[in-house]
Amino acid sequence: MIDLKNDRIDGLLIDRVYANYYLEAEGVLNDYNVFTVGLETEAFAVGARKEDTTLVKKINEAFSSLYKDGKFQEISQKWFGEDVATKEVKEGQ
């Protein structure tokens, strides 16, 4: 991102959420075109031992609760500029 900002490169392939956050923090978001090229297929997860079903259930319930009361979207908007919830979070899975 620094090389792009300093005109040492013309473009780069980078995570869209990170790019938007960095450019917004630098105050130059409107100076660049950020677009998705269909490579975004990776989801992130919270891991727990397979046998710890109680913990997994509590984690899922916590994410679901955060999403239902709007806190997840608030945090997501603050840090990423958009709702980054996966389909599973939205559906409470």
Confidence of residue 4 (pLDDT cuts 50, 70, 90): confident
Q: What's the predicted TM-score (pTM) here?
A: 0.49
The alpha helices in 2-91, defined as continuous H runs, are 2-5, 16-25, 53-68, 71-80, 87-90
Q: d(Cα 63, Cα 60) in Å, to the nearest integer?
A: 5
Read off the DSSP letter of residue 78: H
Give the pLDDT confidence of 51-85 residue by residue, as tens digits. 888 988 888 888 888 888 999 889 888 887 888 77
- Which value, to the nearest 10 degrees, does the dihedral of the CA atoms of residues 9, 12, 5, 73 take? 180
Residue of 82, 90, 88 whose CA lies nearest to 19: 82
Quick one: pLDDT at residue 69?
Answer: 92
Average pLDDT value for the chain: 80
Quick one: pLDDT at residue 78?
Answer: 87
Instruction: Indicate if the pLDDT at residue 3 is higher than 80.
Output: yes
Give the pLDDT confidence of 10-45 residue by residue, as tens digits. 778 787 778 888 888 888 888 887 776 665 555 666
Q: Hey, CA dihedral for 82, 83, 87, 89, is it positive or negative?
A: positive
